[in-house]
A and B are shown apart, each in its own frame.
Chain A
Amino acid sequence: MEEASPPLRCFSESHSSELFSDDGVQTVTSREQRKVERSIQEVYSVYQQIHTSPHVCQFLARCQSPTGGFGGGPCQHAHLAPTYAAVNALCILGTEEAYEVISREKLLDFLYSVKQPDGSFVMHVGGEVDVRSAYCAASVASLTNIITPTLFDGTHNWILSCQNWEGGLGGVPGLEAHGGYTFCGTAALVILGKEHMLDLKTLLRWVTSRQMRFEGGFQGRCNKLVDGCYSFWQAGLLPLLHRAFFKEGDSTLSVSSWMFERKALQEYILLCCQNPGGGLLDKPGKSRDFYHTCYCLSGLSIAQHFGNKDLHNELILGRDENRLVPTHPVYNICPEKVAQAIEHFHRLPVPVQTGPTPSAMDQS
């Protein structure tokens, strides 16, 4: 991201010299003044961090673990979820500096360190398995070109065993079908090129049944309430399924729309999921947060844009200003950023695994 122009006062070096300085005699007013300045300083520094690319890169670099992967914050243990988020964020930035933050060799070591003999991955060393981990691993590995011949051994079979009778996927084999896990499993299989091994028809039946007749948004599971974030996790499955059916040569596929009610979803997001002060949310009455802001907007983009660059159909509810840019249905960042990252990292050789093999790791 570029700096805001014209440059704001808070970015200038001399700004901090305006801070109140105390002659040592504290009064009620001087203490209150200090408190106010401290909180304003925090606001400014957060703004600075968000709005300068080098700052973001530096922050993420500090979140990277010396043994590979990224943790939730500096000095935290690596975990597949923040790893996924960090790699995506760096790809969004898309500068040389951002790409270079990622230590690919260490990242590969980290992925091997969480790989299990049955093909699944734990979310972090010593943690538990669930299908999100396969998606996080497949996403970062494919973007940064570190997929070795053995990295995803058995993974697709394990993911397939998460599909249950309902058609959706559970967190681990045997569990209830769930929107978030279903997306992660399906998207991971798409990355691995094995999505055709799912029972696509029952999956399609399951996910289309998750759009709520009245609300227009999606629920996460049968008989549950609508939630804005499923605008992406559930609706996001339709582009993946569309592509999979297309590859199978299905001649009855639509050439103008994904197989869900696009207008109704847009209506739900725009009318019910916006906080008047900005940001998006689960459902009316809930408070805003970054997670729902991200996934409501992602779902809105999915609903607005059908197809790819060769065959594109836009359906924008409301004013043209509501138009978002298209998002990549697998990685959920802009398709151009995906292409750019893949192009950059494919110029580099796949690293050789240097860490211990999965079976040798002590998982206790």
Chain B
Amino acid sequence: MAESEEEVDVLVQRVVKDINNAFKRNPNIDEIGLIPCPEVRYNRSPIVLVENKLGVESWCVKFLLPYVHNRLLLYRQRKQWLDREALVDITCTLLLLNPDFTTAWNVRKELLQCGVLNPEKDLYLVKLALSKHPKSPETWIHRRWVLQWLQKECSPSGQELKDQAEPRGDAVGRRPCERLQRALQEEMRVCADAAGRYPSNYNAWSHRIWVLQNMAKGNLKVLHDELSSTRLWVSMHLSDHSGFHYRQHLLKALARELSQVGETELHPSKQPNGESTAGASDDNHHNDVIPQLFHEEMELCTDLIESFPGHETLWCHRRHVFYLWHQWRREHLQGAGSQSPPLTHTDVLLSEEPCDDSSTSQTMDVDCVLDGSKHGSYTQDTKRLKRGPLLPHPALPSEHTFVSRILTDCRSTEQNRFAIAYRKWLDSVIGFHDPYMQRPRHITLIFLAP
């Protein structure tokens, strides 16, 4: 039976209303989805609400989507007016069905800007959309826009404007830093959810990195927390290259932040509040924490490689962690070979900024030797290292031992292949770029290129 336009109109308006009512009835809806149901049923609502899950029967989509899409476009072209409430409902319906629709997200931005929506409400819609489309790039992009908007609202200048306007509800009443704190925790949850719904979800993990860089910059506690909270996750998603890449990012960020903290401790005059630092024993604090982090990561990697043979991601992760560790150790523990503190070159290397004295460091690298058997010029740092950390640090020899162990114990052909490839990489990349002779070409190219 063919449908007339009026019948479709009535049906669709009812459905939009049903969706809206569902949210009113249950503010805890945490997931939406399509229910495969091709048989058209005019006299029954296609909206199903069970526990906290909202379902849309698939038969209604072919009516619903074109209708709401069209209405929004007509509004945008100024051919048909929609009041604020209708806009909220229509964009909500539209974006839950098809979130890759920038125009609809832009309407939501406008609603936010004029105060009809609050950021948390929109972030909730984004979260729901992601439960159905965990990769959708436009959705993640919109989410970042809302977060930036939220940050502006919570900033000191934003708060002043707020105080002048009328109070709108309890969301505004909360202290700004608490709001942002909650938002930060929520972001990590949303990212973890989306990462779980689609393997190696590039957009979800990229967003997580963005959150760290924009909502938790330099926040050591968050970095540490993230390292511990993702540990279990990656252990259960062994082929998720993006998840492991995130841990690599955390390690790099932690090493950078801790080194800078260390530098501040050693240069009391640089501290803004003029407090004097603690004694010399604190000089090595970062020296222990960073190696500890790398050691734990290598241990985790070893555990996983041994327990679950044949996962390329784990070997890739090992390479990266070893490479980072190798770089950090070379730059940091060898130091400048003079009386100056050992941290200057680490900042240079890890902050990836152009280095003018790379040639000077090269000379010093040759002079300065880590190997205890040589009686070259010992610096303060190498002396400390000799009596220093109790943990065995990953090094070329220990890595080779690890590879041999894997090759003798393991019966998986994939695992063998990865182990042999890793050994080859150790020899050709790490071994070739001998720490005492030259910097890796990669860094040289960036620093010295015209």
Contact = CB atoms under 8 A, between A and B. Distances in A.
A199 B206 CA distance: 23
A214 to B, nearest CB: 11
Contacts of B245: 175-176
Contact of A221 (B200, B209, B324): B200
B352 A161 contact: yes
Interface in B235-260: 239-242, 245, 248-249
Contacts, number: 62
Given A171-B206, A176-B202, A223-B311, 10 more contacts: A165-B324, A166-B316, A172-B206, A175-B209, A176-B242, A221-B202, A222-B241, A222-B316, A223-B316, A224-B199
B114 to A, nearest CB: 14
12 contacts: A165-B323, A166-B316, A170-B206, A171-B206, A174-B209, A174-B213, A176-B206, A178-B202, A201-B441, A222-B241, A222-B316, A223-B239
A300 to B, nearest CB: 26
A272 interface: no
Which DSSP category, helix, strand, loop or mixed, fits chain B's interface?
A: helix
Interface in B310-324: 311-313, 316, 320, 323-324
B330 to A, nearest CB: 15
A67 interface: no
Contact of B445 (A165, A199, A222): A199
B205 A165 contact: no
Contacts of A221: 200, 202, 241-242
A118 interface: no
Nearest to B240: A223
A31 B4 CA distance: 12
B2 A31 contact: yes
B241 A176 contact: yes
A128 interface: yes
Interface of B: 2, 77, 141, 144, 199-200, 202, 205-206, 209, 213, 239-242, 245, 248-249, 311-313, 316, 320, 323-324, 352, 441-442, 445-446, 449
A222 B316 CA distance: 8
Contacts of B313: 222-223
A224 B241 contact: yes
Contact of A175 (B2, B141, B206, B441): B206
Contacts of A198: 445
Given A127-B141, A128-B144, A199-B442, A174 B320 contact: no
Interface in A147-177: 160-161, 163, 165-166, 170-172, 174-176
B312 A223 contact: yes
Interface in A214-266: 221-224
B441 A222 contact: no
Nearest to A156: B449
Contacts of B242: 176, 221
A129 to B, nearest CB: 11
B427 to A, nearest CB: 14
Nearest to B152: A364
Given A171-B206, A199-B445, A223 B200 contact: yes
B441 A199 contact: yes
A202 interface: yes
Contact of B141 (A75, A128, A174, A178): A128
A197 interface: yes
Nearest to A128: B141
A34 B206 CA distance: 50
A224 B200 contact: yes
B445 A197 contact: yes
A128 B148 CA distance: 13
| Residue of A31, A127, A198, A222 with most partner-chain B CB within 10 A | A222
